[in-house]
Amino acid sequence: MASESHKTDKERFEEEVLQFLNGLYGYALHLTRNPEDACDLVQETYARAFKAWKQYTLGTNAKAWLFAILRNTFLNQRRSTKRRPTEVPCDWVDELPREDVPQLLRFGPDPYDKFLNDLLAENIEEGLALLPETFRSAVVLCDVEGFSYKEIAEILDIPIGTVRSRIHRGRARLRELLEKWYLEGEGELGS
């Protein structure tokens, strides 16, 4: 095993950035909604990251750096292929209440636990897919990947206030959709 000072670029790269592979793959899946495209996107992300690795400064946030590369790569590919994902119109954004406490209290604690336990990954993915990309990204980066608002602002290249608003509204909309499907299904969620 190489000592710290004798590690090659490849060894440092593998050690410091491959640890984020699972998270990057998950985020890529949310962006592309297709496992094959997600794999291609992650591979391209790592190829770009490896090329830029020598300019990368140790001690900076490698995880946020990689997620930003992945998202920029995705946006560039989408632009170049002129493929746009199917997204619902965003009229709901302005209609959302400032906070969504009534929904949170609608079930009470025990039925709410049942609702949460009945949720499937497919339900959440379907709900997220109906959010505009920036809202989906903000929610996934915060709630799944655990990034701070500041890190998300850097990854998405938007102000922190906008991140906050997208997380609030994206979460509220996602939960609203899931609860609606749950109540319509009389306590069942289809996969």
Binding site for other proteins (CB under 8 A): 10, 13-14, 18, 21-26, 29-30, 35, 39, 42-43, 46-47, 50, 98-99, 101, 104-105, 107-109, 112-113, 116-117, 119-121, 124-125, 139-140, 142-144, 146, 148-149, 164, 167-168, 171, 174-175
Of the pair 53, 77, the CB lying nearest other proteins is at 53
Query: Where do we find the tokens 């701070």?
Result: 148
Of the pair 113, 184, the CB lying nearest other proteins is at 113
From the number of C-beta atoms within 10 Å of its C-beta (0-12, 13-18, 19+), residue 175 rates as middle
Least distance CB 188 / other proteins (angstroms): 17
Measured between alpha carbons, how far is 188 from 117 in angstroms, rounded to an integer?
A: 11
Tokens of residue 52, six digits: 């830029």
Of the pair 38, 132, the CB lying nearest other proteins is at 38
Least distance CB 161 / other proteins (angstroms): 12
Of the pair 82, 98, the CB lying nearest other proteins is at 98
Least distance CB 82 / other proteins (angstroms): 26
Q: Which of 107, 95, 118 is nearest to 173 (CA)?
A: 95
Q: Which of 12, 86, 76 is nearest to 45 (CA)?
A: 76
Sign, Cα dihedral of 90, 136, 74, 122: negative
Least distance CB 32 / other proteins (angstroms): 13
